[in-house]
Chains A and B, each alone.
Chain A
């Protein structure tokens, strides 16, 4: 998958770049509007990650240009501005998702995967991991073609795990992914443990192997290879 990252902060760009390259994506960066514009006009990308506040222009403007030349490219707006109007404007201009800084890289990765599924794999909405099949349009999960009943949050959790295979996800990260901003108001995120426990039990009962591994009591890891 080819990704364009338009972000003026070199450190932040480096973080994202490192993370995505580890995932095996081809990633190009542009530090300002002009560079971003050149890239958008010259090449085709699967996904573009665009910061709203960039030198020499506005990310929303760039998004518009991108949409006019390459409507197939998925786009995620990144912004520190939690302003609602930016979000609404971004989505109105056709952005596929919106992420506010600071975000977890695993969260960004999950969003990239989701956007990619929506934009490019429209015929294939199934995530397959060994004996699992996740149908992202009907939100149904099967293990060895046997359906498993999951609550909406358990389903989200499983999708999140499959997007971040073999990676330690802290309880905090998981809680934020599932409950968004509400999480910071909660005294502890131990309820994540309950979620995981329930999910694990359901999957194992359905005949799946135990993929979810507890990591030092900090978080969890979804191991892609069969244990």
Chain B
């Protein structure tokens, strides 16, 4: 439920309760006022009747009920005993001709001393029936309620657009926020305190997230840099040492030390690369022509493959384009291809199939020693002592995940089949 709708609902609910209470109060106030007015009028009439009696004037009265009331709802009676003069007012139920039912009427009765006699003069009647008052009050209130509803919804629709504009704009900014852009959200100033609080919070939070992200990124980068420098120094020293006069044994030591250092440096580079992929540092997707990429790479490796006596069969569809960061496309293909070369056998072959939906690369090779599901984990190697660092397919997996590709492995002896579905 939208916030504005909830506001309107609560507002209308409160309004309804207030109006109901207000209705009851109005009913009694109006009734009181009307009755008061009526009583005043009856008093007036009684006094006039008293005056007429005092001046011994007769006036025609037609009594039409058993209590001695005339058609104007008045009774004048001469009493035999003395009653001190006073006025009694109250309600009485009387038959209403028009409505054909008993109605609550106002009644005023006065005891008066007129020329030494005690008279009882009373009048009763009704100006507006309480039914009518109730009806009028309810009608009025329903009108007010109706107008409130129309007004609230109207105001809700018109104002909410404007009132919630800063909120929606902040929301939009949060949605389009990306850590890598290292641009914290800057929300517009609003005149609403709550929105300002929200905006400040979002700004602080995104700044912090960006700072943390940057720290992490810098750490990964610095770690790689700091590692590469000493490695570089060590390898340089080895190379200088290699220039001096050494015996074959010493050369061997130098050579294997250099190879170990080289592996170490590749390892830190690859780990850095995985971190970068996981940090989504490559997300500038564009159309990459995989056909060209694969073709160029196959051509570049022709010599190497021939030397390793590996034959390549390629079935490439022309101009297959995939939407992904170009760097990742390059790394993805390189790792897949290298994997196929590395785990191949002498006089082996590699089959590359590229279509609109998938890239499938198969290579001859020894059967896996570990379960296939471990294939894409870090540092899972077919042979522990091999020269590879065991991160190639892990990198492939990370790239596939980031680009939303499906990576699968199948073994169909003697072919290992890796397919990437776009």
Contact = CB atoms under 8 A, between A and B. Distances in A.
Q: Do A and B bind each other?
A: yes
A12 B229 contact: yes
Query: Which of B221, B261, B272, B307 counts the most A-chain CB atoms under 10 A from its CB?
Result: B307
A19 B251 contact: no
Given A151-B303, A153-B303, A172-B255, A102 B237 contact: no
B233 A15 contact: yes
Given A80-B232, A105-B240, A182 B338 contact: yes
B248 to A, nearest CB: 4
B387 A186 contact: yes
A194 B307 contact: yes
B262 interface: yes
Nearest to A195: B307
Given A83-B221, A194-B307, A101 B272 contact: no
B327 interface: yes
B334 A9 contact: no
A102 B261 contact: yes
Interface residues of B, number: 45
Contact of B221 (A81, A101, A152, A194): A81
Contacts of B252: 216, 218
Contacts of A179: 304
B233 A185 contact: no
Contact of B232 (A19, A83, A101, A184): A101
A104 B261 contact: no
Interface string A1-26: 00000000101100110110010000
A22 B232 contact: no
Nearest to B330: A84
Contacts of A83: 221
B233 A11 contact: yes
A170 B255 contact: yes
Interface string B228-256: 11011101110110110000100110010
A185 B303 contact: no
Contacts of A168: 242-243, 251
Nearest to A219: B255
A205 interface: no
Nearest to A10: B233
Interface in A168-200: 168, 170, 172, 176, 179, 181-182, 184-188, 191, 194-195
Contacts of B225: 53, 80-81
A185 B392 contact: yes
A218 B259 CA distance: 12
Interface in B274-326: 301, 303-304, 307-308
Nearest to B252: A218
Given A80-B224, A82-B272, A83-B221, A105 B236 contact: yes
B350 interface: no
Contacts of B258: 170, 172
B259 A15 contact: no
Nearest to B276: A83
A194 B341 CA distance: 17
A102 B386 contact: no
Contacts of B387: 184, 186-188
Contact of A101 (B231, B262, B263, B341): B231
B266 interface: yes
B113 interface: no
Contacts of B239: 15, 19, 104-106
B235 A104 contact: yes
B217 to A, nearest CB: 10
Nearest to A107: B239
A185 B388 contact: yes
Query: Which of B229, B239, B339 counts the most A-chain CB atoms under 10 A from its CB?
Result: B239
A191 B307 contact: yes
A212 B240 CA distance: 20
B251 A184 contact: no
Interface string A133-170: 00000000000000000011100000000000001101
Contacts of B141: none
B391 to A, nearest CB: 10
Interface of B: 221, 224-225, 228-229, 231-233, 235-237, 239-240, 242-243, 248, 251-252, 255, 258-259, 261-263, 265-266, 269, 272-273, 301, 303-304, 307-308, 327, 334, 338-339, 341-342, 386-389, 392
Sorted from nearest, which 4 A-B pairs have the closest CB atoms?
A15-B236, A102-B232, A80-B228, A185-B338
11 contacts: A19-B236, A80-B228, A101-B232, A167-B243, A172-B258, A182-B301, A184-B389, A185-B338, A186-B308, A216-B251, A216-B252
